[in-house]
Chains A and B, each alone.
Chain A
Amino acid sequence: MSELSHSLKNSADEKNRQRFRQALTIINLSIRRYLFTRYMWLLICLGLTPCLFTGMIAIAKIIHEGYGRQPQISDMNQFMQMAFRLFYIHFVIFFVANIFGFLLLRKEVDDRTLHYLFLQPVSKTLVILSKFVAFIIVTWIFLSATFLLMYVIMFIPYGIGVMAKDLFESGRAVSLVEESFVMLVALALYGAISMVMGTIFKTVWYGMIFYLWETALPYLPSTFKFFTVSHYLQAMTPERGAIPPHMFELYGEMPGPLHCFIAIVLILTVFIGITVFLIRRYECRYAES
């Protein structure tokens, strides 16, 4: 009896290992498919735009004030926080996550390659979730790198020593890690929502309505704010203590960490659940796509 249970356990382990291997291959395959496509160029352009702006500001500072002067750390923190809250959360991450999340399934349908995955002995759920993980890996690594690059560029007029001091003595390294984590959460949340949309819709235009809804956050009544993703992302963004309070008073009362955690889990569960439900019923029909 114990031999039988042992062999059953071994076979279950082997199956899990195989499933894991299959998931890794789909992730690898999906990452390779992202690279060097026009969507990757879009990601590069969107991700590097804040770096470009920061670079222009850095050059202007060097021209006007010279190299190596004492930095106004509070100004820089304000700039970083504004860039993250307004540019990254409301613009870069939103568009990147929406476009890439939407394309998870839609690109395979448009390229007529979905059948290659759906004909393999692997569940459709595993296929779509692996593709979701691939999207998160690619976009998160890239956007985190560009955010870090923006930080580095910002310190060019003041030198590496000042940057190292700010990073490790003022504890900015922790803030950067926290902001990177918020990016990850933002990509996952927006990605999960747009993944559902990509399974239902054929074009990404629904995103404009979603975008208006999300950017209208400051102007919404406080009850509606709880139905926007950006409300929780703004709440999770670490305070650098440099922003005048009136700048963000339109965001209203921010939810606490527990509320944020519950909201994130709920949004992810609902939207990934809907995707799994839809994908199990999904058929490979290119002619109508």
Chain B
Amino acid sequence: MNGQTTIHNSTPVIELKNLSRWYGEVLGVNRITATIYPGITGLLGPNGAGKTTLMNLICGLLRPSQGSVRIFGKPVWNNPKILSRIAYCTQYDSFYERMTSFEFLYFLLSVRGYDRATAKLLAVQALERLKLHDVMNKRLGGFSKGMRQRVKVALALADNPEILVLDEPLNSLDVVGRHEMMELIKSYGCEGRNVLISSHILHEIEEMTDNILMLSHGYLLAEGDVREVRGLLKQHPHKIYIRCDAPRRFASLLFEMNGAHSVQIDPDSEGLVAQTFDLDTFCHRLNDIVLNNHIHVSLVTVSDESIRAVFEYLTESAHV
């Protein structure tokens, strides 16, 4: 896996050369050299791996301490021209709270250089695409986290940029929302656009692309095919935390359906932690249990411990 290269015929979209970024003494990313080609590319790494720093460098929000970032062959730092070809959906949950979602998109599209009529049209289309047209005249301050996430993605998608950079866009979304978002991103990639998407959950990335960059502690650990990482995961089950109103019943139903490798009830009896090697089957079983047994589930999160284990494995292999 380590050091694997894939041969591409197409022109590179993003080129990172010996890219480093330090925050004083703290390392953000270190000596990253990689080339990103057209299509969807996943940026995978546990929390604190340097994914956001790398994305901020790629989009020109940060200046490299060393090395360079080139987009379509041009440097990105202090180069506003290139920004007309990129859209970046950040992790920051911050907005102009007093504005409506429509105004928010309309103003920022106008700053992007579109005239009034075009900005209005693009804003409405983007909100419709993200199923936010019903609330387009409501203030952003009153939006739920999931809706705010969708507004950010709508803004990023609004003018069909050539490069779409998404920093953990599936955060705060419910199961249906995640599925819809993944489909949207996939369809965007299928249209021949370039998408760079980050996540600390391998399963999410795997749903959308085979092509990944793996980061850990600021270093590029591997780049290439996600299936090779998947193979390594066989030794490391996924850990899923479920918060529901009947965790004991839920656990017994999971076992009955052979849906989990192990289940542990949370000490506060308000949830359970299940472990599985097959996340797809687990998700289907989870849906069946919820629908057939009327159990109210308030939260389902996949921990990144499994992917962390793979990172540890890869880090160890790299040192040997």
B78 A120 Cβ-Cβ under 8 A: no
Is B313's CB within 8 Å of the partner chain A?
no
Is B96's CB within 8 Å of the partner chain A?
yes
Query: Closest Cβ of chain B: how far from A286's Cβ, in Å?
Result: 7
Query: Closest Cβ of chain A: how far from B164's Cβ, in Å?
Result: 12
- How extensive is the interface on chain A, given as a class? 20 to 34
A120 B115 Cβ-Cβ under 8 A: no
Contact partner of A21 (CB less than 8 A), chosen from B81, B90, B113, is B113
A113 B95 Cβ-Cβ under 8 A: yes
CB-CB nearest in chain A for B112: A120
CB-CB nearest in chain A for B62: A283
Is B88's CB within 8 Å of the partner chain A?
yes
Contact partner of B78 (CB less than 8 A), chosen from A18, A22, A113, A124, is A124
Q: Which of A156-170 contact B (CB under 8 A)?
A: none
A281 B63 Cβ-Cβ under 8 A: yes
B63 A117 Cβ-Cβ under 8 A: no
Determine the distance from Cα of A119 to Cα of B61 in the docked complex, in whole angstroms.
7
B90 A115 Cβ-Cβ under 8 A: yes
B115 A21 Cβ-Cβ under 8 A: yes
Is A284's CB within 8 Å of the partner chain B?
yes
What A residues does B95 contact at CB under 8 A? 113
Total contacts A-B at CB 8 Å: 75
Main secondary structure of the interface of B (DSSP, over half): loop
Query: Closest Cβ of chain B: how far from A184's Cβ, in Å?
Result: 26
What B residues does A36 contact at CB under 8 A? 98
Query: Closest Cβ of chain A: how far from B296's Cβ, in Å?
Result: 34
Contact partner of B62 (CB less than 8 A), chosen from A25, A28, A123, A285, is A285
A113 B96 Cβ-Cβ under 8 A: yes
Is A82's CB within 8 Å of the partner chain B?
no
CB-CB nearest in chain A for B87: A119
What B residues does A117 contact at CB under 8 A? 111
A21 B110 Cβ-Cβ under 8 A: yes
A120 B90 Cβ-Cβ under 8 A: no
CB-CB nearest in chain A for B108: A116
Determine the distance from Cα of A123 to Cα of B107 in the docked complex, in whole angstroms.
17
Residue interface mask A97-119, B partner, CB < 8 A = 1: 00000000000000111011111
Query: Closest Cβ of chain B: how far from A90's Cβ, in Å?
Result: 33
What B residues does A28 contact at CB under 8 A? 107
Determine the distance from Cα of A118 to Cα of B82 in the docked complex, in whole angstroms.
12
Given A29-B111, A120-B111, A124-B78: A112 in contact with B92 (beta carbons within 8 A): yes
Query: Closest Cβ of chain B: how far from A138's Cβ, in Å?
Result: 15
Residue interface mask B161-201, A partner, CB < 8 A = 1: 00000000000000000000000000000000000000000
Is B59's CB within 8 Å of the partner chain A?
yes
Sampled A-B contacts (15; CB under 8 Å): A21-B110, A22-B111, A32-B98, A33-B96, A112-B92, A112-B94, A116-B96, A118-B60, A118-B61, A119-B59, A121-B83, A284-B56, A284-B62, A286-B92, A288-B23
Which B residues lie at the A interface, using CB under 8 A?
Answer: 23, 56, 59-63, 78, 80-84, 86-88, 90, 92, 94-96, 98-99, 107-108, 110-113, 115
